[in-house]
């Protein structure tokens, strides 16, 4: 369309003239990334000066950085100048009925057992059901407001709670942290902000809210969760529904701050488009997730990663306060030509801090799965403990599993345990299940789900069930 041909300044002007929200569908910046792009994004969002400065600092840092190449990933070169950095909140076409939805996606919805009204919302089908759920959403909003919980888009938060954002943005993942985090900091489009006041236990799983609010936050997502002293929140990002996206590169940043005695449980189910059987297409998912746990605080990451062509992701915990707790539970499945290099970093600073890492990697077809994890015991980490268990399951002869643990211990009283195993689904196990009447695919799904049990147990109930189905669906065709 003609708008894309215009210069950036003109576009910026246009948005002032016609307003921000009404002009969304034609609001696409030309590809390319320079300082003006960063200024454009910031201006579009009507951001305060300090945030623009922050973005520019990140951009300057990013320009000096190199794309990391230490991961065991085979990444086709990414042309950062070919990407449009302001195309994010794209309006999806509204469909007449479920019949208009991609049959593949419909089939997957059914297999996952996603309720019809949610299917419709996720596919953007115009029906009355949406009206119902809008009211549900409103109810949720009111419930949260009563409890004093702030939960809104990142852009809203910048406008409405600038002090909170200013205080915490970049406090856990600094702009120079890594290449992708710096890129995100410069050009992030939107995301979520969540604030739990002192002593408040968030009255609902924020997942519930998320399910209804099918999100379209774009490729450079920014999430910040701040839990004040003695508060508690459980947050679920993503959903098991299949997500297609035209943007190939996704670089998100998630920061968690758990103040004294606070607890944040962050669960992710990631089911982005993995590419086809020949390894064509699929999302590149480069994510930086980190939490800071203050005294007696607890941060728990649970992730089920079955999507994306490439996953580069290490949800981490800085165990800063004494007796703080960090947990990481992960299932990563790679099939087709998918590659995952994922794990965690547990940085023990405080005394008597404990961390637990349970990682389950599953590789099928030509999938490559690497666990990469760092456990670091600083000099101050008296009596700190870590337990790491890393299990890999190989399906088929063409898949690969790799484990790369890094352990640094600077305090002699700290204890670090690492257990690792690699196994295949045994012929014996399959035969046993088949003798009991199950077909090979069902048997395989059951065995693999059993392998992941410890991680699924950490998920909120409804998602645990869906995650199981998701795993089965992702494994289809990989038997034999």
Which lies closer to another protein via its Cβ, residue 51 or residue 438?
A: 438
Identified binder of another protein from the candidate list 79, 96, 146, 428, rule CB under 8 A: 428
Which lies closer to another protein via its Cβ, residue 278 or residue 435?
A: 435
Identified binder of another protein from the candidate list 94, 134, 431, 476, rule CB under 8 A: 431
Which lies closer to another protein via its Cβ, residue 379 or residue 453?
A: 453
Identified binder of another protein from the candidate list 69, 96, 146, 427, rule CB under 8 A: 427
Helix ranges restricted to H, 379-452: 427-435, 440-451
Which lies closer to another protein via its Cβ, residue 3 or residue 442?
A: 442
Q: How far apart are the first and last CA of the chain?
A: 48
Name residues whose C-beta falls within 8 Å of residue 365's C-beta, 6 or more positions apart in sequence: 277, 335, 336, 337, 395, 396, 398, 399, 478
Can you say whether the dihedral through the CA atoms of 38, 77, 286, 269 is positive or negative?
A: positive
Q: Find the part of the chain contacting another protein (CB under 8 A) among 84-92, 130-138, 427-435, 458-466.
A: 427-435
Query: Least distance in Å: CB of 115 to another protein?
Result: 20
Burial class (CB in 10 A: 0-12, 13-18, 19+), 305: buried
Nearest residue to 340 (alpha-carbon basis) of 374, 314, 317 = 314
Q: Find the part of the chain contacting another protein (CB under 8 A) among 189-197, 275-283, 375-383, 420-428.
A: 420-428
Which lies closer to another protein via its Cβ, residue 249 or residue 459?
A: 459
- How many residues of this chain interact with another protein, rule: CB under 8 A? 23
Rounded distance, CA 4 to CA 28, Å? 6
DSSP code for 475: H
Which lies closer to another protein via its Cβ, residue 128 or residue 427?
A: 427
Rounded distance, CA 49 to CA 55, Å? 10
Binding of another protein by 435 (CB under 8 A): yes
For the segment 352-411, give every residue that binds another protein (CB under 8 A).
none
Query: Least distance in Å: CB of 414 to another protein?
Result: 30
Which lies closer to another protein via its Cβ, residue 137 or residue 423?
A: 423
Rounded distance, CA 293 to CA 302, Å? 16
Q: How many residues does the chain have?
A: 480
Name residues whose C-beta falls within 8 Å of residue 332's C-beta, 6 or more positions apart in sequence: 303, 305, 306, 311, 340, 342, 359, 360, 361, 362, 369, 371
Query: Least distance in Å: CB of 453 to another protein?
Result: 3
For the segment 24-83, give every residue that binds another protein (CB under 8 A).
none
Identified binder of another protein from the candidate list 433, 464, 467, 471, rule CB under 8 A: 433
Query: 3-state class of 383 per DSSP?
Result: coil
Tokens standing for 261? 């005695």
Q: Find the part of the chain contacting another protein (CB under 8 A) among 151-159, 223-231, 270-278, 432-440.
A: 432-440
Rounded distance, CA 159 to CA 170, Å? 17
Which lies closer to another protein via its Cβ, residue 194 or residue 444?
A: 444
Query: Least distance in Å: CB of 303 to another protein?
Result: 18
Query: What are the residues facing 303 on neighbouring strands?
Result: 268, 330
Query: Least distance in Å: CB of 464 to another protein?
Result: 13
Which lies closer to another protein via its Cβ, residue 189 or residue 363?
A: 363
Query: Least distance in Å: CB of 314 to another protein?
Result: 25
Query: Least distance in Å: CB of 239 to another protein?
Result: 24
Under 8 Å between Cβ of 140 and 209: yes
Per 3-state DSSP, the chain is made up of helix, strand and coil in percentages (nearest 5) of 35, 30, 40
For the segment 436-455, give every residue that binds another protein (CB under 8 A).
436-440, 442, 446-447, 449-454
Which lies closer to another protein via its Cβ, residue 29 or residue 475?
A: 475
Under 8 Å between Cβ of 372 and 407: no
Query: Least distance in Å: CB of 463 to another protein?
Result: 17
Q: What are the C-alpha distances in Å from 187 to residues 8, 22, 51, 222, 326?
A: 15, 22, 11, 10, 30
Supply φ then ψ for residue 337, to 5 degrees.
Answer: -110, 20
Identified binder of another protein from the candidate list 46, 432, 476, 477, rule CB under 8 A: 432
Biggest alpha carbon distance in the chain?
A: 71
For the segment 267-296, give every residue that binds another protein (CB under 8 A).
none
Binding mask 191-210 for another protein (x = CB under 8 A): --------------------
Identified binder of another protein from the candidate list 198, 244, 379, 434, rule CB under 8 A: 434
Which lies closer to another protein via its Cβ, residue 325 or residue 471?
A: 471
Contacts with another protein by CB under 8 A lie at 426-429, 431-440, 442, 446-447, 449-454
């Amino acid at each position: 369309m003609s708008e894309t041909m215009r210069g950036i300044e003109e576009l910026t002007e246009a948005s002032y003239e016609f307003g921000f929200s009404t002009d969304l569908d034609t609001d696409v910046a030309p590809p390319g990334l320079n300082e003006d792009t960063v200024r454009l994004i910031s201006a579009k969002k009507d951001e305060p000066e300090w945030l623009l400065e922050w973005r520019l600092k990140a951009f300057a840092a990013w320009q000096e950085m190199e794309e990391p190449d230490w991961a065991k990933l085979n990444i086709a070169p990414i042309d950062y100048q070919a990407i449009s950095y302001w195309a994010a909140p794209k309006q999806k076409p509204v469909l007449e009925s479920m019949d208009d939805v991609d049959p593949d996606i419909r089939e997957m919805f059914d297999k996952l057992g996603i309720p019809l009204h949610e299917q419709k919302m996720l596919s953007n089908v115009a029906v009355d059901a949406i009206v119902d759920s809008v009211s549900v959403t409103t109810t949720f909003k009111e419930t949260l407001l009563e409890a004093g919980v702030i939960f809104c888009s990142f852009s809203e938060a910048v406008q409405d709670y600038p002090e909170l954002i200013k205080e915490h943005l970049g406090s856990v993942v600094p702009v120079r942290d890594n290449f992708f985090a710096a890129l995100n900091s410069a050009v992030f489009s939107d995301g979520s902000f969540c604030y739990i006041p002192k002593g408040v236990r968030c009255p609902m799983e924020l997942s519930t809210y998320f399910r209804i609010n099918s999100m379209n936050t774009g490729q450079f997502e920014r999430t910040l969760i701040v839990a004040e002293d003695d508060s508690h929140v459980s947050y679920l990002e993503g959903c098991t529904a299949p997500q297609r996206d035209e943007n190939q590169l996704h670089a998100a940043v998630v920061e968690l701050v758990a103040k004294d005695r606070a607890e944040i449980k962050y669960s992710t189910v990631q089911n982005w488009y993995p590419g086809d059987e020949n390894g064509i297409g699929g999302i590149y998912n480069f994510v930086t997730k980190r939490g800071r746990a203050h005294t007696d605080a607890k941060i728990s990451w649970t992730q089920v990663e079955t999507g994306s062509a490439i996953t580069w992701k290490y949800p981490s915990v800085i165990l800063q306060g004494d007796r703080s707790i960090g947990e990481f539970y992960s299932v990563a499945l790679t099939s087709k030509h998918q590659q995952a290099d994922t794990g965690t970093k547990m940085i023990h600073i405080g005394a008597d801090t404990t961390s637990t890492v349970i990682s389950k990697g599953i590789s099928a077809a030509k999938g490559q799965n690497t666990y990469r994890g760092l456990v670091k015991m600083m000099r101050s980490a008296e009596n700190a403990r870590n337990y790491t268990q890393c299990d890999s399951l190989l399906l088929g002869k063409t898949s690969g599993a790799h484990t790369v643990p890094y352990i640094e211990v600077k305090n002699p009283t700290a204890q670090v345990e690492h257990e690792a195993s690699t196994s295949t689904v045994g012929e014996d196990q399959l035969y046993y299940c088949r003798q009991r009447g199950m077909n090979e695919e069902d048997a395989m799904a059951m065995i693999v789900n059993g392998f992941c049990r410890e991680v699924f147990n950490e998920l909120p109930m409804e998602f645990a069930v869906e995650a199981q189905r998701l795993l089965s669906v992702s494994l289809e065709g990989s038997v034999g």
